[in-house]
Amino acid sequence: MGLFGKKKKESEVTWEDIEASMRAPQIPDDQAEWFMNNKRSLENSLSVTNTVGAFANSWINVETASVFVSNRIPPICEACEDSATCKACGKNERNFLTTITANQDSDWLVWELLRNQDSNLPDGLMVFFDPAMYSTLDAQNGLKFQAQEMAPIHIGSLVVDAVTNGQGMIHIADKFATQDSTYFIAGARVDAGNYQVVAWMGYNNVGDLTPTALGVYGDAYAADLLTDLKLTEPAPAEIRKLINNAESVFARMGNNQEHYAQINGSFYDENSPHERFISQSWTNQLIVEGEDAEQFFTWLMEMDMQVGARLGILDGLRIRGKQALALSYVDKVESQFKDDLTDTDKFIIEKMRTLPAGQFIIA
């Protein structure tokens, strides 16, 4: 099956297939005893087979072979550098967890998972760091794929606080992504609560044992995890350290953000007034990071459009993490169009100024 459930002709060989075979995992004969005792089929795990719906959230670009999972987009901080905890910016083990991405830089697709048919928001998230898996993914009914056996290591519990209406956010991005950085940041609106973050260990294409998938599971998956995460013993220190350390990292030349901005935009309905700004925000992020930024903002301020349309464009940048830039133009819009502001415009401006970066506005 193809990436979104489109079946290929039996004789058709795509570049995706060729590339996947070139980057396929190398499974060594000599495997760590702990891994041998605890590996299992992720594709047949309860958390996967009991997932009733899977939806692509976005592709993210990873340039440091590692990602964070957080309940916020971290602020820029000069104090913490490579640390996952920092008193200066507030990072701690309940709001910021990290893992290596199979020792390689790449672009990774973040999936939203629904455990229950009547779920209004994602019950969990999943990211695969094994490129060979992507051509086998099928999200027609739940989530199906073909993958090597993996062993789970529980990283920690992410606490998602209620920001508005009992809901908060989970963000996944390059480990060093922050507010106003150039990275693509995936953001999923979820119910407040505790989410279990799990690194699924496997082998990369040179035979190194490393995280090859990442799972983030809400309370709806609690019963499934009692079986999925049951181990013969906790991971020994030399294996557990592989979650955040790699002896070698496979870098890449450049990235594909422009290409994935188009794909990310297609995940959302441009005809829906509630999703159109999300669809366009990925492309707008690239524009404001490039040489056309001045022209873009001149257009924003001078084009004949409603104030709400201007705010929608700026809010799309804010949910991508462009907090300072978006708010600086909110000030200009408020000043220049103060006589035309509706009550809805004023509400949006207030929320944009008070909500955390990346948090969707919920009326």
* pLDDT at residue 273, as a whole number: 79
Residues 6+ apart with CB under 8 A from 207: 25, 26, 27, 28
pLDDT band for 159, please (50, 70, 90 cuts).
very high
Provide the whole-model pTM. 0.91
The string of pLDDT tens digits covering residues 65-98 is 999 999 999 999 988 877 788 988 999 999 999 9
113 phi/psi in degrees, rounded to 5: -115, 135
Task: Give the position of tokens 């700004």.
Answer: 277
* pLDDT at residue 215, as a whole number: 98
Q: Domain ranges for the chain, please list them.
A: 15-252, 268-354
Alpha-carbon distance values, 55 to 38, 72, 120, 124, 187 (Å): 29, 21, 13, 11, 13
The string of pLDDT tens digits covering residues 238-290 is 999 999 998 788 888 777 899 999 999 999 988 887 888 889 999 999 999 98
Q: What residues form DSSP beta bridges with 158?
A: 195
Task: Give the position of tokens 């106003």.
Answer: 180
pLDDT band for 4, please (50, 70, 90 cuts).
very low
Beta strands in 237-328 (DSSP E): none
| C-alpha to C-alpha distance for 60 and 68, rounded to whole angstroms | 11
